[in-house]
A and B are shown apart, each in its own frame.
Chain A
């Protein structure tokens, strides 16, 4: 459903994403895991069609995002890491606008909006301007916005940021049911528990490259890590904790 081939993104001399190859099939929840600045968000934004790759291709549902952007985007819902929405639109108006961008309107969309707002407990805020929403409420609104047009693929950047435990659990269940029904989710996160609990397969991204990928057991095999936890495995692949640096900071 999602295929990245030789994906590269350079900003001047800095290479943020350095030749990523990846395939996420239908019905899978795939996690991109990596430290800050590893290139996860850049990769996600290239898949969503917001950034143009320096080299390589992105395909969604068999359509090339650069050459057939409209066809590819029709199948996709994108959830960014920062929930910027139009302050002067109400929650209901925002979702109606998001659906319209995908060419959808009418009573079916209205019903869908009500369902989503109900699911995320935003119904009582439907007619209020989003400038009065909390960070978590905005996050739930943009998640609803990504689902309102019934996409086949969801691309999501740090989905749990700003969500309360109940909403986080709801989102996990939602994504799980979405893939069980044949959908595809590609999410980035740096929260190890989230990746371990939710994802069918994980790729550990480090310095713009995929350091390892597979199921948890495949990752352990690849890195000869025995029964190490994901945290230990992650630290092993991404350069450890640097205890001597902690000492230096705390003793200053």
Chain B
């Protein structure tokens, strides 16, 4: 009998291909273009500095509010962590679908003598790292700001890690358990129903999140009968059963030097129990689900993409027409892609609902400067939504060609034509969306005609730029080996793209803010509205920057794709 018959590979051994792969990618990245590395570093630092700067200023302000400053800071932290928790849960469910049921290493691992618990822990670790690294990076500058404003001391980073580890494990375990259960009901490859459920789950999560936050209540102390009621509302945990609240309590207890072990016990206890439940569910249901996951390939088409669009496309040369049709067919037939439209709709409804709920025109006299600030904030928010939509739908474009690239590269299709086709097929719907949300929200805000014109022009130009950035970052950071399209936007390249597009947005808004506000102020005072040289200069700067942000990335993308080897 071979000596190793009863022994199992260590968890670390099972994970070897993952961490070795990550190290190899890092080495490749380092040995790649220095300009690219520099760009990524600068963008990352700028983004983190911006988050840290905003968090530090807000916290410094809150801390100085007499009596309730510390309570408010705790509330804000709990709210931020709750928002992260919903993102983590969704991200873990989507990632777990790949890591547990679609990954290419599964055949090898399931066929090897690896026990259920070890396989679960290895895949859980992979899922948690994939889903959480972005949130962890985002939390870093925010927690640093907390540590600095409230003088957390040199041990605060360790306390933060001790709070974040169970906080990240919990949604990962819940995500994997939900996925294992759902795949046992619906085969993983027949994900239409699964993802529709996910979409509805996300909708419910967001509604619950808003309900738990009740931000309007805290922003209006006059709504409470007396100050004691307001204090009680501040002291009461808004979501006492969620790990975000326990993690926030644990961190605030350290920062405010309160000795209460309960949040620590709750966090770590819940993580241990969740892990045990996860192992149990996996042992019972994984093998069955994995077997079902192999059986779900679709055969018959439900419907064809035909109609007036098809006739319109007939005007194009065959290669361009069929390329566009192919992209549309793949999008609407791939459930993991079209179902993201559900999430997009939820996001838009909440966005418009929030704009509508703002008390700007409710009869109270609001300072003119506040209305202008809100108009610019709205521009920023619309830009953020568009950048996120481009990350979801345009960034993965080239990655999705992946293994079929042999066909495109061996054919006489010009790589430029391919990139342009991908650019316009993503940009045209995005332009329509940009126009719709900007006009609608500005109409709800009752902004002046001038502000409407500025917003529309800016957002249209920004959309052109952000589409080009998404496509080009997708070319430079392709995910050809991915099993799940929904994971592509949360890859390293996707995050770098988001940072770059948000930095661009911030630059544009900063250039426009001062001259536009000055113009609006003179218009408000009834003075003759003159288009000042500053205004012209700002407009020209924005057009040049956004024009360059459109043309330069597209050119780089074409050059890169021509040099790419598969």
- CB pair B330 A88 closer than 8 Å: yes
Alpha-carbon gap, A73 to B414, bound state (A): 11
Q: Does B403 contact A (CB under 8 A)?
A: yes
- CB pair A52 B409 closer than 8 Å: no
CB contacts under 8 Å to B, within A70-96, are 70-71, 73-74, 76, 78, 80, 82, 84-86, 88-90, 93, 96
Q: A187 to chain B: closest CB distance in Å?
A: 15
Q: Does B411 contact A (CB under 8 A)?
A: yes
A contact residues around B408 at 8 Å (CB) = 101
- CB pair B322 A73 closer than 8 Å: no
Q: B334: which of A48, A88, A93, A105 is its contact (CB, 8 Å)?
A: A88
Alpha-carbon gap, A100 to B314, bound state (A): 12
B contact residues around A174 at 8 Å (CB) = none
A contact residues around B404 at 8 Å (CB) = 84-86
A contact residues around B333 at 8 Å (CB) = 88, 129
Q: B409: which of A48, A82, A85, A98 is its contact (CB, 8 Å)?
A: A48
B contact residues around A35 at 8 Å (CB) = none
Alpha-carbon gap, A35 to B409, bound state (A): 26
Alpha-carbon gap, A108 to B538, bound state (A): 57
Q: Which of B325, B330, B405, B409 has the most CB of A within 10 A?
A: B409
Alpha-carbon gap, A98 to B318, bound state (A): 10
Residue of B nearest to A80 (CB): B406
Chain A 44-68 interface 0/1 with B at a Cβ cutoff of 8 Å (1 = within): 0100111110000000000000000
Alpha-carbon gap, A105 to B566, bound state (A): 28
- CB pair B298 A84 closer than 8 Å: no
Residue of B nearest to A9 (CB): B565
Alpha-carbon gap, A10 to B319, bound state (A): 33
Q: Does B317 contact A (CB under 8 A)?
A: yes
B contact residues around A51 at 8 Å (CB) = 565-566
- CB pair A98 B407 closer than 8 Å: yes
- CB pair A103 B318 closer than 8 Å: yes
- CB pair B326 A129 closer than 8 Å: no
Q: Does A131 contact B (CB under 8 A)?
A: yes
Number of A interface residues in the complex (CB < 8 A)? 39
B contact residues around A127 at 8 Å (CB) = 300-301
A contact residues around B565 at 8 Å (CB) = 50-52
- CB pair B323 A50 closer than 8 Å: no
Q: Does A102 contact B (CB under 8 A)?
A: yes
- CB pair A132 B329 closer than 8 Å: no
- CB pair B301 A129 closer than 8 Å: yes
CB contacts under 8 Å to A, within B287-306, are 297-301
- CB pair A129 B299 closer than 8 Å: yes
CB contacts under 8 Å to A, within B311-341, are 317-319, 321-323, 325-326, 329-330, 333-334
- CB pair B321 A93 closer than 8 Å: no
Residue of B nearest to A100 (CB): B322
A contact residues around B411 at 8 Å (CB) = 73, 98, 101-102
Q: Does B563 contact A (CB under 8 A)?
A: yes
Q: Does A120 contact B (CB under 8 A)?
A: no
B contact residues around A73 at 8 Å (CB) = 410-412
Q: Does A128 contact B (CB under 8 A)?
A: yes
B contact residues around A101 at 8 Å (CB) = 319, 322-323, 407-408, 411-413
A contact residues around B322 at 8 Å (CB) = 96-97, 100-101, 105
Q: A88: which of B329, B403, B405, B406 is its contact (CB, 8 Å)?
A: B329
CB contacts under 8 Å to A, within B121-143, are none
Residue of A nearest to B337 (CB): A88
Q: B483 to chain A: closest CB distance in Å?
A: 11
Alpha-carbon gap, A76 to B334, bound state (A): 31
- CB pair B403 A84 closer than 8 Å: yes
Alpha-carbon gap, A52 to B300, bound state (A): 39
Alpha-carbon gap, A97 to B317, bound state (A): 12
Residue of B nearest to A84 (CB): B403
Q: A7 to chain B: closest CB distance in Å?
A: 15
Q: Does A225 contact B (CB under 8 A)?
A: no
Q: Does A69 contact B (CB under 8 A)?
A: yes
Residue of B nearest to A93 (CB): B329
A contact residues around B325 at 8 Å (CB) = 97
A contact residues around B318 at 8 Å (CB) = 99-100, 103-105
A contact residues around B326 at 8 Å (CB) = 86, 89, 93, 97
B contact residues around A100 at 8 Å (CB) = 318-319, 321-323
Alpha-carbon gap, A105 to B322, bound state (A): 9
- CB pair A48 B403 closer than 8 Å: no
Given contacts A86-B326, A131-B298, contact A78 B410 (CB under 8 A): yes
Alpha-carbon gap, A49 to B297, bound state (A): 33
Q: B479 to chain A: closest CB distance in Å?
A: 15
Chain B 398-434 interface 0/1 with A at a Cβ cutoff of 8 Å (1 = within): 0000111111111111100000000000000000000
CB contacts under 8 Å to B, within A117-142, are 127-129, 131-132, 142
Residue of B nearest to A73 (CB): B412
Alpha-carbon gap, A78 to B409, bound state (A): 10
Alpha-carbon gap, A88 to B566, bound state (A): 21
Q: Does A145 contact B (CB under 8 A)?
A: yes
Alpha-carbon gap, A90 to B414, bound state (A): 24
Alpha-carbon gap, A74 to B402, bound state (A): 22
Given contacts A50-B565, A101-B322, contact A89 B410 (CB under 8 A): no
Q: B33 to chain A: closest CB distance in Å?
A: 16
Q: A15 to chain B: closest CB distance in Å?
A: 16
Residue of A nearest to B321 (CB): A100
Q: B555 to chain A: closest CB distance in Å?
A: 19
Q: A146 to chain B: closest CB distance in Å?
A: 9
**Chain A: residues with CB nearer than 8 A to chain B?**
45, 48-52, 69-71, 73-74, 76, 78, 80, 82, 84-86, 88-90, 93, 96-105, 127-129, 131-132, 142, 145
12 contacts between A and B (CB under 8 A): A48-B409, A52-B563, A78-B406, A89-B326, A97-B322, A98-B411, A101-B323, A101-B407, A104-B318, A105-B321, A129-B299, A132-B298
Given A84-B402, A90-B301, A105-B322: 13 more A-B contacts, CB < 8 Å: A49-B410, A50-B405, A70-B412, A76-B410, A85-B404, A85-B407, A97-B323, A103-B412, A127-B301, A128-B301, A129-B300, A129-B333, A131-B298
A-B pairs, 3 with minimum CB distance: A100-B322, A84-B403, A101-B411
